[in-house]
Amino acid sequence: MKKLQLALLSLLIATTAFAQIPTLIEVGEENWESWYQSDFKNVLNFVSQGADTVLLTSSGFNYTTADTFPLVINSPVVIMAAPGLAEKPILSHSNPDTSTSMEIFRILESVEFNGVRFEGALDQPRGVKYALRYGDFEDTGTGQIHLAESDINITVKDCDFNNFHSEGDQDKQGNVLYFLRPLDVTNDHIHANNVIFEGCTFTDIGDEAIRIAEGEKYPFGTSGTIAYDTLIVRNCTFDDVDAECVRIYADTDTSFVGPTYVDGLTLIENVTAVNCAPRFIYAKNFRKTIVRDVLVANGRTTSINRPDRGDYVMSVQLSTSYIAHIDTFDLTFTLYSEERVQGTKGAEVDVATVYAYDPEFTDAANGNYEVNSPYLYTRGSNGGFIGDTRWATNPPPVGTVPENVPARFKLEQNFPNPFNPSTTINFTIERPDFTSLTVFNVLGQVVVTLKSGFLMDGEYSVVFDASEMTNGVYFYELRQGQHSSIHKMILLK
């Protein structure tokens, strides 16, 4: 405590001429212990006294805290890396009490993070569940409640988020951004003007990466509340996310009239998602949700915590929402869905611009998602790139990209039908592409995948042997990109 008091006194003397804490403070390895007692909480104390910019000056240095509470942003601040660092500075939380719901930062005021790396599991086995949570904060030590400000801005640029699971356990959940309910659920003050993620990478996230889904769940008025005016996720990469990359709820008003008719704008563009669970986005009752120029590839099954989310890639709802210029390739589904890319309740999907090209990553196994497929460089909106443009580093020569061929295919009725115990399924595809032929039961559960991979154009015949299956009605689906065809068959022993 005495060292901290001396440090504060030294800073006060150094800034007497300004009669205030300097607006910019530099924090590096050289003054981390002497000025801030090796705790980022003390850095934020200067912010609460008037500093509005924190410049992190040490390359790859871990700025952390030993506090049992999260780091609380209660004054507007920019936290940024100094220019020219070889590695991004690290922000983390030691979670000394091994809390199952610890976050690095609790956001009560406007904040911008720029050029830093958030680490959720540096202090094993005391990993943290959340990187950022916006909402009220109760100091359980003093009983004091600090209400979050309304109409704030949350801006995150050129940042990395790694390894967020409760207690650092890979089987437990975690999120990057989470909007909380207010402590008083009759209050609607948890509302942001703008939430922006640009040039960010999300790796190994134990649930939804971005979750803003509490607005309809607490009884403010008759319909809940809209959590933000604008959400933008642009030029970002999601790698190994256990549930949706983006999950957002508006209020419950789905009418075309009334005071809550206008929802916030959601823009998801130029995003790459790899090695993730099937669902990329679920936007519930959110008008003006625009998803475009998004690449979802090399997928996997959903996590053990979300077995019910293995059915589709994208779902947007209500008028003025739409999906266009996207590419999905080599995804893994565990549940049946009539449409893998969904626009419901008046939302639209531009089927003609839903593709299934192999992105031909340079080295996906080692995290190099540079795109080598010539198609993805010109199939985006306005003739641009599909995916995070940071991976658009190998464009084809001008004029060498082949014309797009419309995807058409034919699935024939199995023969014989009814059958016992085997039947033949014939189909024709007229475009080389990733193609799957899957059998489902009446509950929509996958029974067997007969084909799954890249197929050349042509005619195919598959024999389905159901010797080990019980009598009943089954469905089989041929799918290629957004296009699908489904038939019913009957096993009768």
Q: How confident is the model at residue 8 (pLDDT cuts 50, 70, 90)?
A: very low
Cβ(442)–Cβ(470) below 8 Å: no
Q: What is the mean pLDDT of residues 30-53?
A: 95
Work out the angle at residue 62's Cα, subtended by the Cα atoms of residues 60 and 65, and round it to the nearest 5 degrees.
165
Evaluate if pTM is beyond 0.85. Answer: no
Q: Please tell me the least confidently modeled range out of 11-15, 172-176, 189-193, 436-440.
A: 11-15
pLDDT tens, residue by residue, 137-194: 998 888 899 999 999 999 999 999 999 999 889 999 999 999 999 998 888 889 999 9
Peptide bond into 125 cis (omega under 30): yes
What is the pLDDT, as a whole number, of residue 405? 45
What is the pLDDT, as a whole number, of residue 18? 36
Q: How confident is the model at residue 406 (pLDDT cuts 50, 70, 90)?
A: very low
What proportion of the chain, given as a percentage, has pLDDT over 70?
Answer: 89
Q: Which of 80-89, 256-265, 332-341, 430-439 ranks highest by mean pLDDT? A: 80-89
What is the layout of strands, in order, in the sheet containing 71-73?
71-73, 103-107, 130-134, 175-179, 210-212, 246-249, 281-284, 314-317, 341-344
Q: How confident is the model at residue 443 (pLDDT cuts 50, 70, 90)?
A: confident
Distance from C-alpha of 111 to C-alpha of 76, rounded to nearest angstrom: 6
What is the pLDDT, as a whole number, of residue 436? 87
What is the pLDDT, as a whole number, of residue 419? 94
Q: Is the pLDDT of residue 6 over 60?
A: no
What is the pLDDT, as a whole number, of residue 221? 60
Domain range annotation of the chain? 2-391, 409-491
What is the pLDDT, as a whole number, of residue 383? 86
Q: Which of 20-24, 140-144, 259-263, 311-315 ranks highest by mean pLDDT? A: 311-315
Q: Is the pLDDT of residue 11 over 60?
A: no
What is the pLDDT, as a whole number, of residue 459? 85
pLDDT tens, residue by residue, 279-294: 999 999 998 899 999 9
Q: How confident is the model at residue 219 (pLDDT cuts 50, 70, 90)?
A: low
444 half-sphere exposure, CB direction, 13 A CA radius: 11
Q: Which of 157-161, 331-335, 408-412, 451-455 ranks highest by mean pLDDT? A: 157-161
Q: How confident is the model at residue 98 (pLDDT cuts 50, 70, 90)?
A: confident
Q: Which of 84-93, 208-217, 245-254 ranks highest by mean pLDDT? A: 84-93
H helices then E strands: how many in the chain?
3, 37
Q: How confident is the model at residue 3 (pLDDT cuts 50, 70, 90)?
A: very low
- Which H or E element spans position 342? strand 341-344
pLDDT tens, residue by residue, 347-378: 999 988 999 899 999 999 999 999 999 999 99
What is the pLDDT, as a whole number, of residue 119? 97
Q: What is the mean pLDDT of residues 417-425?
A: 95
More confident residue, 402 or 430: 430
Beta strands in 75-191 (DSSP E): 77-81, 90-91, 103-107, 111-114, 117-119, 130-134, 137-139, 144-146, 152-157, 160-164, 175-179
- For the record, the structure tokens of 112 come out as 């911008």
Distance from C-alpha of 117 to C-alpha of 162, rounded to nearest angstrom: 8
Q: What is the mean pLDDT of residues 428-447?
A: 83
Beta strands 433-440 and 472-480: pairing type? antiparallel
Q: Is the pLDDT of residue 322 over 70?
A: yes
CATH number corresponding to 409-491: 2.60.40.2550
What is the pLDDT, as a whole number, of residue 409? 64
Distance from C-alpha of 289 to C-alpha of 349, rounded to nearest angstrom: 12
Q: Across the chain, what does the average pLDDT equal? A: 88
Q: What is the mean pLDDT of residues 82-110?
A: 95
What proportion of the chain, given as a percentage, has pLDDT over 90?
Answer: 69
Q: Please tell me the least confidently modeled range out of 23-37, 198-212, 408-422.
A: 408-422
Distance from C-alpha of 217 to C-alpha of 248, rounded to nearest angstrom: 12
Q: What is the mean pLDDT of residues 240-250?
A: 96
- For the record, the structure tokens of 419 come out as 């059958």
Specify the residue for token string 């075309």.
256
What is the pLDDT, as a whole number, of residue 338? 84
Alpha carbon of 88 to those of 44, 60, 61, 62, 124: distances in Å? 20, 5, 8, 10, 21
